[in-house]
A and B are shown apart, each in its own frame.
Chain A
Amino acid sequence: MSAGQLFGQALINGILISGIYALAASGLALAFGVVKFLNLAHGEFLMLAAYLGIFLFSSYGLDPLLMTPVVFTLFFILGAVYYKTLVKPVLKAGELNQLLLTFGISIFLQNLALILFGGTIRTISVPYRTHTISFWGINFGTARLLILLLSIVLLVGLYQVLQRTRVGRSIRAVSQEPEGAALVGIDSEAVYLIALGIAVGFASVAGMMLSIIFHAEPMVGFNFTLKGLAVVVMAGLGNVYGVIWASLILGISESFIGVYLPNGTGWSGAIFFLMILGGLIIRHSRVSEV
């Protein structure tokens, strides 16, 4: 493989993985930007969905990607219930309470998964898992390509909903001026419910993707909470639109460090810490709106 091809491969690998990051992080950004809620248990919804993907494929032979609409709907409802039962009571109590609660839920769900499914790593082999397409000597994993395409479709869909629909405008209005929105009759409860539903729904789709190209284990989600936080901090807290490029930066830098640094794959897992650090220093006082 030539130096140019190596560079190209590293770049493409980074871009291919960034779709999952964007999907996972946009949910965090939505919850923070609209509901002003920092959900440390966000990754655990990914984890649960990854197990669901593995269960659906190994027990019924259902392809996780094709099950996306069903799983999204299911987890949208789960997100709405999550909002009603656990999130809403702590919303007015302040950030510390939110962090303590969601950190607790995160640990609870991790251990629940450990009891129910055990600590072993579970994988499935969908027919296209090892299939690749090659252009100019660069390999595109078919599964990863499909996943990136699905992520793009979902994110573009989200932006279209936010920009062009009634409910999208209401979501942005509540995000920017909750009091102003209430005074023109917008039911913020409904908006919060929808925002959390979409956030958890997107997390579940990312989890299904994980089941195809990665694996499921009790801790798999927490990593995505951290990486998602890195993306969200870099994009500007709550900025759903900045999530795209921040995810690309995370995916590509992980990939390059993995390829070009000695023992790089170990270091690439830590790059998100640098992003959080850099993001916090650069954007120390900004909170964005949807």
Chain B
Amino acid sequence: MNTPILEVTNLSGGYGSLQVIWNLNLTVHEGEIVCLIGANGAGKTTTLRLLSGLEKPMQGEIKFQGISITNWLPARIARLGMTHVPEGRNIFGQMTVRENLEVGANCSPEAWRKKEATMNYVLNLFPILKERANQLAGTLSGGEQQMLAIARALMTCPRLLLVDEPSMGLAPAVVDNVFKALREVMGNGVAIFLVEQDVKRSLKLAERGYVLENGHIVLKGTSSELMEHEEIKRAYLAV
């Protein structure tokens, strides 16, 4: 709990010359769930894309497990143990569910060694994927694809999972399932940095949170502090 696994200092970035993120500072510790909440267009997805190397930062530093990974390529960051479950899910539609998971295990020698064990673990975490193991991933429902995206990321044996809007477009019962799985993943010692629009749900799951507005972090604190905060109540929890 005490050593930060992810340390972001003064991170700025965006797309081309369009700056979206301004001087972000945040930390995630070993084995905890931290959420980043904010309205549509606040820069949540961009933040994750900067962290996983899909976008190059304009300035600032990203340290993962004490190593500066600023400007690293996404594949190299994933191999170090930080895996991004993107908003679009990006599953391999023309491959079976099992093949999708096997590709995840290609990540590192460690992940490949543990392939069978991890496969059992994720198939128990999402039993529906076991039923669909030999089905093409493109034929899965939205919820199943989301589960597959998380499961595939877990196959890389990550130390930190970056999860972007897992509830997007899913039925509430399915979202419950996904959040339950994330809690279990955390219980296994994987830290999670969660980006969500469903503020109530994410604050319930996470221990701490950051609030992003127009590319700036405007608030941070433990989940209970944030849940009691007047601004949060008014803007996001609608009470």
Q: Residues of A at under 8 Å CB distance from B?
A: 166, 169-170, 172-173, 176-177, 179-188, 289-290
CA of A176 to CA of B100 in the docked complex: distance in angstroms?
A: 11
Interface hub of A170, A173, A184, A186 (most chain B Cβ within 10 A): A184
Indicate if the CB atoms of A180 and B106 lie closer than 8 Å: no
Interface hub of B83, B84, B92, B155 (most chain A Cβ within 10 A): B92
Q: Assuming the A-B contacts A173-B95, A187-B75, are A181 and B103 also in contact, with contact meaning beta carbons closer than 8 angstroms in the complex?
A: yes
Q: Does B224 contact A (CB under 8 A)?
A: no
Which residues 94-123 of B sit at the A interface, judged by CB distance below 8 A?
A: 94-95, 99, 102-104, 106-108, 111-112
Q: Does B86 contact A (CB under 8 A)?
A: yes
A238 CB to nearest chain B CB (Å): 11
* Chain B contact patch, size range: 20 to 34
Indicate if the CB atoms of B95 and A172 lie closer than 8 Å: yes
Indicate if the CB atoms of A186 and B93 lie closer than 8 Å: no
Indicate if the CB atoms of B86 and A188 lie closer than 8 Å: no
B128 CB to nearest chain A CB (Å): 20
Indicate if the CB atoms of A184 and B91 lie closer than 8 Å: no
Q: Which 3 A-B pairs have the closest CB atoms?
A: A180-B90, A185-B107, A185-B78
Indicate if the CB atoms of A186 and B92 lie closer than 8 Å: no
Indicate if the CB atoms of B94 and A183 lie closer than 8 Å: no
Q: Does B79 contact A (CB under 8 A)?
A: yes
CA of A166 to CA of B152 in the docked complex: distance in angstroms?
A: 15
B239 CB to nearest chain A CB (Å): 37
B92 CB to nearest chain A CB (Å): 5
Contact partner, A182, options B75, B92, B102, Cβ 8 Å? B75
Indicate if the CB atoms of A183 and B106 lie closer than 8 Å: no
CA of A179 to CA of B45 in the docked complex: distance in angstroms?
A: 15
Q: Assuming the A-B contacts A176-B92, A176-B93, A176-B94, are A169 and B78 also in contact, with contact meaning beta carbons closer than 8 angstroms in the complex?
A: no
Indicate if the CB atoms of A184 and B95 lie closer than 8 Å: no
Indicate if the CB atoms of B94 and A182 lie closer than 8 Å: no
Residue of A nearest to B104 (CB): A184
Residues of B within 8 A of A179 (CB): 54, 74, 86, 90
B185 CB to nearest chain A CB (Å): 16
Q: Mark B170-184, 1 if CB is under 8 A from A, else 0.
A: 000000000000000
Contact partner, B94, options A170, A180, A184, A289, Cβ 8 Å? A289
Q: Assuming the A-B contacts A169-B106, A173-B103, are A186 and B75 also in contact, with contact meaning beta carbons closer than 8 angstroms in the complex?
A: yes
CA of A186 to CA of B74 in the docked complex: distance in angstroms?
A: 9
Contact partner, A183, options B84, B95, B102, B112, Cβ 8 Å? B84
A19 CB to nearest chain B CB (Å): 26
Q: Does B156 contact A (CB under 8 A)?
A: yes
Q: Does B153 contact A (CB under 8 A)?
A: yes
Indicate if the CB atoms of B93 and A184 lie closer than 8 Å: no
